[in-house]
Structure 1
């Protein structure tokens, strides 16, 4: 049986029917053969009843090797590719444009099911909030959801093709690196509930400034269907720049510091997570999440809102949040050598997220030495120097046992922290990964070490070096 990741079609169709759906021409093979699934250019996941779509991002030789090893029912190609090495058992379909063919099949599959759609966007917290929503919903509903960080328009067809009878809700994390990406996703699925987790500095460099990030996130609000439900962050100043003037639906807020429709309060740190009160709909309840930070409580409040809009009980919400499996490298707690606790938060970084992580380090370290290892933050454009300096001033206020920076841009964090009053003997900078690792091996036993940097710096290699002698 094919896994959901292999895009099992809503209903089995003949190859002739599939060819008609995608607008292709069958140039070889039996048109009466049954097609049960689609494979979007992943030769390692081939199955015999699939229709395989050629991928221009992978070498044709590797794709041919996969086709020869596990022949699918059919392969979809554009003009110009050699057919001589394709096994005779595989039917061949020609199309003018493979991507358009994929979209035609995905749209057809989508029309068979049309599940309810929840959409999550924001500068930070998208993946965590999506994981929380999914953990809640899957206890009583059949859910298809975004996988990993495959969250842009390019990947939408793969989720539409995974839908099958009985699937009730599609949860989409909507990311973007350019304008119109979220808008294009919304035009296809028209979400009935949406959340903007926050509006921060992420992708400011790509878009041309933080004010343009606001414009990009606005696309979700403008793309929700009439009568939809929208949740906005009451604690996020930039979220107030989002306009709901043309939105025809219900708007609710979530927050901790500021008054909100979904209010978090009485936060308590534990070794395995955080407990907190939630006041909403005239009710008050205690909840728990297996991670740390006020920013993650805000993510949980957003998830509560989405779940309530979709008719989920508070009991199921409480259970789903408590048992959520959070994405890798988001405040991931790892046992290091010599009794050290390693907090790998280095999936990506922007100033707001880095400051949130420094706050977590202060809470978790308590009487133990707290060490912050901070790297370059990419994609900030003209805000790069100001963003790193902002983190430096905040780091001085948090005053960890050691502040360690790595990378040319991150050096501004340490310099600014010293200028803001932090003891220079407790601030260290490294331009060599090896030298940094050697220094970390000399840090006090039992330390809590927090890691944060943009993805390109591959901080997981540094973290891994501290899990072995």
Structure 2
């Protein structure tokens, strides 16, 4: 965070100094009880309903409390604590955010989509970081409550920022955009997820579409030209620039001649009547789409395409994102236990299609969560997708995933099907199948610690 003088903050918020000194600088900012108080020189917004641990705050002093609580609850006169009373905490909070964000005239990218958010974010960060100071959200930790601390992570040394949007319910992306005020927004794709919070697919598309209105005036919107649900995003009122990526001829960043190469995907990039040979580490056509979105974003920020492609080729694929390992008995293990939704399952199956030929393919699938009333429908659709493929062994783990197995058998799969409630006993079934001709894909939700640990146990070094 860029240090701010307490006196200047009081003047900005038109607050009343209740006690303490205002001649020191704030270096951190949190919303009390939403975020942990860990450092000195911290500003904290405290709501009327919050119970305050004054001793804790004073020990971490100097501290600044901003609140709209009554005078009687704020007049503590502690040596290391400054207290400022405001008329409305909500108004003060948003006024502070507006002020702080506008201290920095830098490109801010925000990314939403069913799949590829984290990977695209990390690609952008990787490409830019060679000569720019890039601030980014951490891993896939994208919940709305993290947005304020992420914004506070921007300081005078930051050249660019890139964040991904978390979505649990409608309104989440609108809220985050109000904090980040992105200059570039990306929708990677829109599949099916979070239907428990958005009620149905239409509600989910509408929630994803909130990014369109959230981009700063004159900004850029980057969209997947090939994605059917993204085509339903209303863009008529968007006043900025729209860039499309994909394999579709209308794409501004278009990929062709996509091929599986050693350790990744090669493709031709077509942009502005020029063609570039390109490579991205990591398998799957979906990885090429992520790369196209990242290349479009950094190009908007002024980076030369050739330079961006060169840097992209050194990108290190994220762990547990279709991560390849040597496994037991000389088998190939693909660990895809980072996230689980119908779109990412389909992408993983397409990877198996391209690299599993001539192999004994073993598929281990876990529950897909947050599908609301459509839980059985989408698990069954995956079962039908599996049945069409040359799968030697299908294993499902969990009560929800059982529907995948049932549907695959109903559709006439030739796979040997095993249904498990959990991972216990699974290794005894799989170990005899693992040899140099076997390729095993394990895919489950990041909430399943047991599936993550089981995937790790199949690797050669364990």
What is the CA-CA distance between 1:205 and the residue it aligns to?
Answer: 2.7
- Equivalent position of 1:267 in the other structure: 258
What is the CA-CA distance between 1:99 and the residue it aligns to?
Answer: 7.3
TM-score, scaled relative to structure 2: 0.86
- Report the 3-state secondary structure (helix = DSSP H, G, I; strand = E; otherwise coil) of the residue aligned with 1:439: helix
- Of 398, 423, 429 in structure 2, the residue corresponding to residue 433 of structure 1 is 423
What is the CA-CA distance between 1:139 and the residue it aligns to?
Answer: 2.7
What is the CA-CA distance between 1:437 and the residue it aligns to?
Answer: 3.5
- Of 452, 457, 460 in structure 1, the residue corresponding to residue 452 of structure 2 is 460
- Of 19, 23, 29 in structure 2, the residue corresponding to residue 32 of structure 1 is 23
Of 176-185 and 206-215, more deviation after overlay is shown by 176-185
What is the CA-CA distance between 1:67 and the residue it aligns to?
Answer: 7.2
- Equivalent position of 1:4 in the other structure: none
Q: Distance in 1 between matches of 2:218 and 2:4?
A: 35
- Report the 3-state secondary structure (helix = DSSP H, G, I; strand = E; otherwise coil) of the residue aligned with 1:456: coil
1:201 is the counterpart of 2:181 = no
TM-score, scaled relative to structure 1: 0.84
- Of 344, 349, 353 in structure 2, the residue corresponding to residue 353 of structure 1 is 344
Q: Distance in 2 between matches of 1:466 and 1:60?
A: 49
Q: Distance in 2 between matches of 1:54 and 1:404?
A: 50
1:304 is the counterpart of 2:295 = yes
- After superposition, the CA RMSD in angstroms is 3.4
For the 8 Å contact 1:229–1:251, the answer to whether it is kept is yes
1:281 is the counterpart of 2:276 = no
Matches within 5 A, 1:344-383: 344-383=335-374
What is the CA-CA distance between 1:184 and the residue it aligns to?
Answer: 2.9
For the 8 Å contact 2:101–2:181, the answer to whether it is kept is no
What is the CA-CA distance between 1:230 and the residue it aligns to?
Answer: 2.3
- Equivalent position of 1:388 in the other structure: 379
What is the CA-CA distance between 1:111 and the residue it aligns to?
Answer: 2.1
- Equivalent position of 2:83 in the other structure: 93
For the 8 Å contact 1:362–1:400, the answer to whether it is kept is no
Q: Distance in 1 between matches of 2:243 and 2:179?
A: 24
Are residues 356 and 103 of structure 1, via their aligned partners in 2, closer, same or farther at CA, if it must alter by over 3 Å?
same
Are residues 66 and 25 of structure 1, via their aligned partners in 2, closer, same or farther at CA, if it must alter by over 3 Å?
closer
Q: Distance in 2 between matches of 1:55 and 1:398?
A: 56
Q: Distance in 1 between matches of 2:52 and 2:248?
A: 55
What is the CA-CA distance between 1:103 and the residue it aligns to?
Answer: 4.7
What is the CA-CA distance between 1:174 and the residue it aligns to?
Answer: 2.0
1:318 is the counterpart of 2:296 = no
- Report the 3-state secondary structure (helix = DSSP H, G, I; strand = E; otherwise coil) of the residue aligned with 2:26: strand
- Equivalent position of 1:3 in the other structure: none
Q: Distance in 2 between matches of 1:324 and 1:66?
A: 42
Q: Distance in 2 between matches of 1:49 and 1:175?
A: 29
Structure 2 stretches of 5 or more lacking a match? none
Aligned residues: 454
- Equivalent position of 2:126 in the other structure: 135
